[in-house]
Amino acid sequence: MSGYTDIIEKIQNQFPDAIVYQQPTYDEFPTLWIGKDSIVKVLGFLKKDTALRFSQLFDLSAIDEQARNNRQGQPASKFTVVYLLLSYSRNQFLRLKVALDSDKPSAPSVTSVWPSANWYEREVYDMFGINFEGHPNLRRILMPGYWKGHPLQKAHPARATEMGQFKMPEEQMLEQQDILQFKPEEWGLKSQSANNEDFMFLNLGPQHPGTHGILRLILQMDGESIVNIVPDIGFHHRGAEKMGERQSWHTYIPYTDRVEYLSGVMNNLPYVMTVEKMGGIDVPDRAKVIRIMLCELFRISSHLVWYGTFAQDLGMMTPVFLTFYDRERLFTIIEAICGDRMHPNWFRIGGVAQDLPVGWEKLVADFVNYFPPRLKEYDKMVMKNQIFKARTKGIGVYNTEEAIEWNVTGIGLRATGLEWDFRKKQPYSGYDQFDFEIPVAVNGDCYDRALLHVEEMRQSIRIIEQCLKNMPSGPYKSHNALTTPPDKKHTMYDIETLINHFVNVTWGPVIPAGEAFCNVEASKGNNGYYLISDGSTMSYRTRIRTPSFPHIQFVPQYSKGYTIADLMAILGSVDFVLSDIDR
Amino acid sequence: MNETLFQILVIVGVLLGTVSLAAALIYVERKMLAVWQQRLGPNRVGPFGIFQVLADMIKIFFKEDWIPPFVDKKVFILAPTIIMLTVLMSFAIIPFAPGVVVADLNIGLLFFFAMSSLGAYTIVLAGWSSNNKYSLLGGVRGAAQMISYEVFMGLSLMGVIIQTGSFNMTDIVNAQKDVWFVVPQFIGFVIFMIAGIAETHRLPFDLPEAESELISGFHSEYSGMKFGMFFVGEYLGITLVSCLITVLFFGGWLGPSFLPPFIWFIIKMFCFILFFVLLRATLPRPRYDQLMSYGWKLLLPLALLNVLITGAIVLSAQ
């Protein structure tokens, strides 16, 4: 990563009073507090400036600062809006913060700079009650319309027992049903076309086989062709971020497994890496390679689910059974190593939970030999099928600029021709030691996205093979005092270690105050955790940056004019998971 | 008197035979799909799960016969009966063996066309009366698909009719004593088969149902035995198309004499049924407009060309 002094200089030259404070963070991203009035201008400048080109709004979230003790000289603020930008040309992240120091917090909307800020701002409004001036349609997005209060505010209860008894009288039920009724005018949609013909509004979901989960899409249709789409999300919202604020650093790991439930431990990785960054924990090599191996096994597992269900979306019956059969074989390996199949909750702060079992090499080697011929078979059956090609080629096309503008990451971005994979660009957990390629396509259509999924599985097999051949020996867990569960070796000889051990086991480790963000190339796109520690045993704020959220926001932009059948192909090729959208 | 008795036997036999065959096909299809999909398939009820059909039947007969309050009740009830009726009627013209035919009509094939045209009503009416947007879309798709594929279906058989000089099914079989029509009428055979799948709206041409898009399309709202009638109707449809392919292109009951004619017929028919199941296991579903343009832009000219060439050859031979 190149330095960032020139960024600050440029901003200061352009907007002398904009930067209020420069905050040090554990992730060493430049973190600048910007005045509320100049944030839109600064963001616009950062996006457009040719030397900076912070072209992607990677994440937008907020922090309720009202209960925070260790603010370490940050400007006074009750609510802070956080913008995380990514520059592809500089391969650099930049974090901007805006302090909102009033009881009725309100910030200017940045939808004029990035249209993708739309859903993020709605989420911040929903969760924190922060108003965004100039937002086109500021309404709740994850919580139901009748919800009282804003859940991520510190004052909002975090447990059901704090909320009083649950009752649902009939009139309340009717009222809530009424809120779910779709009114086109609220979304700026017309009920009639220019020549006075009625549009059909088709309610696709929340229960629909093509949406792969409880996603609701409201289609404005003219015959069978789609005029517009309004996605309605939040049916799978479980408050994963709120739960992060009441779980210890260690006990939150199982929740991360379920954020993107097809990729299992791959979700653990960004979380534990962020905590390790804050705690200054070095992970031993063996643990790193075990992590990589399990992540790649889960990448294949997730892509296999995608492969089968995508083919099924296009009307093919058989692939889903075959790919799930392969997935079962994968789960056998994962179960032998982790003791669980889908959500093994296997990574730990400072390493992994246990060493690899005796005989793991044979299981993995068997799969490495077994899988590539199967992939070839699937190629013949699916990818080379003429009807499959006719259904996916030239459908759902977007280019690299649009993808970056709408915060698309992962395969969706690489399918447009940009070779960008964090495993290569900002290698984490030792990925730089591995020999693999980043498959890239050029057309940005459904077929290309499908092709990349298949190629990625081949590359994952390559990585797993290298893990198998070069598994380092040594400890599977760090000796750092913050490692969870802590090392017990010296406890019987040394009172200091015993006290540390006792505290860490009973309360969990105390992570030093500060903040960090870590990001991995997950199976669906870039998955990242932005954690703030207030110097306690729990996270002060857990922000989960998931890839599917912006991907679904982007779908309506490039699905107009296609038919329902094409929409199914598009949704399938996007490869989203509802838990990843709603968290 | 004996002849009348025989005729009644044939009628009852065909009726019971086809319906129970359609039911048995549920098991055959599930088991064969399982074989091709690396699964076990039904294996709980009876040895190898052969009583699965029975269990399914009991279940579907005893399910609540529920009619949603928002549907057009009369039409809703009428729709599933049409498909059963028309397909069963079509079986009347199939000669299973010499003399074993319900009605040896001299307009046999035309009768089949008439019946299969009426079959389109079942989808349209079911889709319309369900008062559901998905069903409506399915119904509209189904109507367009069936009406267009009927055109090629009819045209594809013209070659056979020209060569035989008759619409009568028995005549058609007898005309294949020397060589089965699949040889001279190969294009006709292929088109008829494709159109046949489209007519029975099975994968890959199951657009009116399109489970992943339209959630079962025209029969979304149906349950219990009314749904069962669509289901049995579909399997009857496969059996019928397989029978027709056997009769029209593969010499019907004709075959070496070590097996009785009826057995030959059944063997040939089963091969085609299995082929249909295999197709379902293999192919994805084309998009609606792709299906239509494929039909009108490729199959129609091909079918017309086939008629033209056959006609020219037959004329020049006279």
Closest residue to A224, CB basis, from B137, B203, B211: B137
Predicted pLDDT at A303 = 92
- Which of A227, A157, A159 is closest to A193 using CA atoms? A227
CB contact under 8 A, A315 and B280: no
Q: How far is the C-alpha of A446 from the C-alpha of A394, rounded, in Å? A: 7
| B278: closest chain A residue by CA | A318
- Which whole number is the average pLDDT over B66-78? 86
Between B253 and B191, residue with greater pLDDT: B191
| pLDDT higher than threshold 80 for residue A482 | no
Element (H, E) at A510: none
CB contact under 8 A, B215 and A208: yes
CB contact under 8 A, A315 and B204: yes
For chain B, positions 291-310, list CB contacts with chain A under 8 A.
none
Per-residue burial over A288-303, b = 16 or more CB atoms within 10 Å of its CB, e = otherwise = bbbbbbbbbbbbbbbb
- Which whole number is the average pLDDT over B174-191? 82
Contacts 24+ apart (CB under 8 A), B150-154: B150/B113, B150/B116, B150/B117, B150/B120, B150/B195, B150/B199, B151/B300, B152/B191, B152/B194, B152/B195, B152/B295, B152/B299, B152/B300, B152/B303, B153/B113, B153/B116, B153/B191, B153/B192, B153/B195, B153/B196, B153/B199, B154/B113
Q: How far is the C-alpha of A163 from the C-alpha of A326, rounded, in Å? A: 45
Contact between A107 and A100 under an 8 Å Cβ cutoff? The reply is yes
- Residue B160 Rama label (left phi>0; alpha psi -120 to 50; beta): alpha
| pLDDT higher than threshold 50 for residue A1 | no
Q: How far is B135 from chain A (nearest CA, A)?
A: 12
Q: How far is the C-alpha of B158 from the C-alpha of A330, rounded, in Å? A: 55
Q: How far is the C-alpha of A70 from the C-alpha of A68, rounded, in Å? A: 6
Tokens standing for residue A96 = 């901007």
| B39: closest chain A residue by CA | A321
Residues in chain B: 318
Handedness of CA B88, B92, B94, B100 (dihedral sign): positive
Q: Scan for tokens 């990925």, then name that residue.
A: A431
| pLDDT higher than threshold 50 for residue A364 | yes
- Which of A365, A303, A298, A302 is closest to A335 using CA atoms? A298
Q: Counting beta carbons within 10 angstroms of the beta carbon of residue A445, is it exposed (0 to 12), middle (13 to 18) or buried (19 or more)?
A: buried
Closest residue to B39, CB basis, from A311, A321, A385: A321
| pLDDT higher than threshold 70 for residue A573 | yes
| B288: closest chain A residue by CA | A565
Predicted pLDDT at B115 = 87
**Peptide bond before A136: cis, by omega within 30 degrees of 0?**
no
HEC assignment per residue over A72-86: CCCCCCCEEEEEEEE
Q: How far is the C-alpha of A468 from the C-alpha of A289, rounded, in Å? A: 9
Within 13 Å, how many C-alpha atoms sit on residue A245's CB side? Answer: 21
| B220: closest chain A residue by CA | A208
Q: Counting beta carbons within 10 angstroms of the beta carbon of residue A133, is it exposed (0 to 12), middle (13 to 18) or buried (19 or more)?
A: exposed
Closest residue to A563, CB basis, from B37, B281, B288: B288
Q: How far is the C-alpha of A256 from the C-alpha of A192, rounded, in Å? A: 45
CB contact under 8 A, A381 and B282: yes
Chain A CB within 8 Å of residue B74 CB: no
Q: Scan for tokens 């750092």, then name that residue.
A: A480
Contact between A133 and A107 under an 8 Å Cβ cutoff? The reply is yes
Between A486 and A152, residue with greater pLDDT: A152
Tokens standing for residue A11 = 């901003």
Chain A CB within 8 Å of residue B282 CB: yes
Contact between A49 and A114 under an 8 Å Cβ cutoff? The reply is no
CB contact under 8 A, B287 and A563: yes
Q: Residue A382 CA to chain centroid, in angstroms?
A: 29
The H-assigned helical ranges of A219-267 are 240-244, 253-257
Interface ipTM = 0.83
Q: How far is the C-alpha of A205 from the C-alpha of A190, rounded, in Å? A: 21
Ordered domains of chain A (ranges, CATH): 5-133 (3.30.460.80), 240-582 (1.10.645.10)
Residue pLDDT, tens place only, B258-271: 888 888 888 888 89
How many angstroms separate the first and last alpha carbons of chain B? Answer: 43
Between A130 and A481, residue with greater pLDDT: A130
- Which whole number is the average pLDDT over B184-200? 85
Handedness of CA B158, B161, B165, B167 (dihedral sign): negative
Q: What DSSP state is assigned to residue B100?
A: B
Chain B hits for A318, Cβ within 8 Å: 33, 36-37, 281-282
Contacts 24+ apart (CB under 8 A), B63-70: B63/B223, B63/B224, B63/B225, B64/B223, B64/B224, B65/B223, B65/B224, B65/B225, B65/B226, B66/B223, B66/B224, B68/B130, B68/B131, B68/B221, B70/B131
Predicted pLDDT at A181 = 80
| pLDDT higher than threshold 70 for residue A2 | no
For chain B, positions 208-247, list CB contacts with chain A under 8 A.
210-215
CB contact under 8 A, B210 and A565: yes
- Which of B172, B191, B164 is closest to B251 using CA atoms? B172
Task: Using pLDDT thresholds of 50, 70 and 90, give the confidence band for residue A372.
Answer: very high
Closest residue to A317, CB basis, from B214, B215, B281: B281
Predicted pLDDT at A529 = 92
Q: What DSSP state is assigned to residue B299?
A: I
Q: What DSSP state is assigned to residue A355?
A: P
Q: How far is the C-alpha of B272 from the C-alpha of B260, rounded, in Å? A: 19
Chain A CB within 8 Å of residue B255 CB: no
- Whole-number average pLDDT of chain A: 86
Question: Considering only CB atoms, which residues of chain A are within 8 Å of chain B?
Answer: 200, 202-203, 208-210, 224, 311-318, 321-322, 325, 381-382, 385, 387-388, 390-391, 563-566, 568
Residue pLDDT, tens place only, A340-358: 888 888 888 888 888 888 8
- Which whole number is the average pLDDT over A32-39? 85
Task: Report the 10 Å Cβ neighbour count for B123.
Answer: 28
Residue pLDDT, tens place only, A385-410: 888 888 888 888 888 888 998 989 98
Q: Residue A290 CA to chain centroid, in angstroms?
A: 22
Task: Using pLDDT thresholds of 50, 70 and 90, give the confidence band for residue A461.
Answer: very high
Predicted pLDDT at A192 = 74
Q: How far is B201 from chain A (nearest CA, A)?
A: 13
Between A448 and A196, residue with greater pLDDT: A448
Q: Counting beta carbons within 10 angstroms of the beta carbon of residue A325, is it exposed (0 to 12), middle (13 to 18) or buried (19 or more)?
A: middle
Question: Between the CA atoms of A204, A565, B232 and B35, what dihedral angle is there, to the nearest 10 degrees?
Answer: -110
Q: How far is the C-alpha of A5 from the C-alpha of A212, rounded, in Å? A: 46
- Which whole number is the average pLDDT over A431-446? 88
Chain A hits for B280, Cβ within 8 Å: 317
Predicted pLDDT at B183 = 78
Per-residue CA distances from A415 to A172, A374, A411, A518, A521 (Å): 47, 24, 6, 24, 15
% chain B with pLDDT above 70: 99
| pLDDT higher than threshold 70 for residue A472 | yes
Q: How far is A325 from chain B (nearest CA, A)?
A: 8
Residue pLDDT, tens place only, A247-286: 888 889 999 988 888 888 888 999 999 999 888 888 898 8
- Residue A287 Rama label (left phi>0; alpha psi -120 to 50; beta): alpha
Q: How far is the C-alpha of A26 from the C-alpha of A21, rounded, in Å? A: 16
Contact between B235 and B22 under an 8 Å Cβ cutoff? The reply is yes
Backbone angles phi, psi at B260, to 5 degrees: -65, 155
- Which of A430, A453, A446, A437 is closest to A378 using CA atoms? A453
- Which whole number is the average pLDDT over B215-227? 82
Q: What DSSP state is assigned to residue B116?
A: H
Give the type of residue at A528: G
Per-residue burial over B58-92, b = 16 or more CB atoms within 10 Å of its CB, e = otherwise = eebeeeeeeeeeebeeeebeebbebbbbbbbbbbb
Give SS3 for A445.
Answer: coil
| pLDDT higher than threshold 50 for residue A174 | yes
- Which of A392, A447, A440, A401 is closest to A557 using CA atoms? A401
Tokens standing for residue A472 = 């380092």
Q: How far is the C-alpha of A180 from the C-alpha of A192, rounded, in Å? A: 21
Element (H, E) at B115: helix B108-129
- Residue A430 Rama label (left phi>0; alpha psi -120 to 50; beta): left
Contact between A383 and A393 under an 8 Å Cβ cutoff? The reply is no
Chain A CB within 8 Å of residue B33 CB: yes
Give the type of residue at A325: Y
Task: Using pLDDT thresholds of 50, 70 and 90, give the confidence band for residue B1.
Answer: low
Chain A CB within 8 Å of residue B290 CB: yes
CB contact under 8 A, A565 and B280: no
- Which whole number is the average pLDDT over B179-204? 83
Backbone angles phi, psi at A225, to 5 degrees: -100, 145
Closest residue to A200, CB basis, from B133, B210, B215: B133
Q: How far is the C-alpha of B253 from the C-alpha of B275, rounded, in Å? A: 19
- Which of B195, B232, B227, B244 is closest to B91 using CA atoms? B244
Residue pLDDT, tens place only, B38-56: 888 888 888 888 888 888 8
**Which of A32-36, A67-71, A481-485, B64-68 is predicted least confidently?**
A481-485
Chain A CB within 8 Å of residue B280 CB: yes
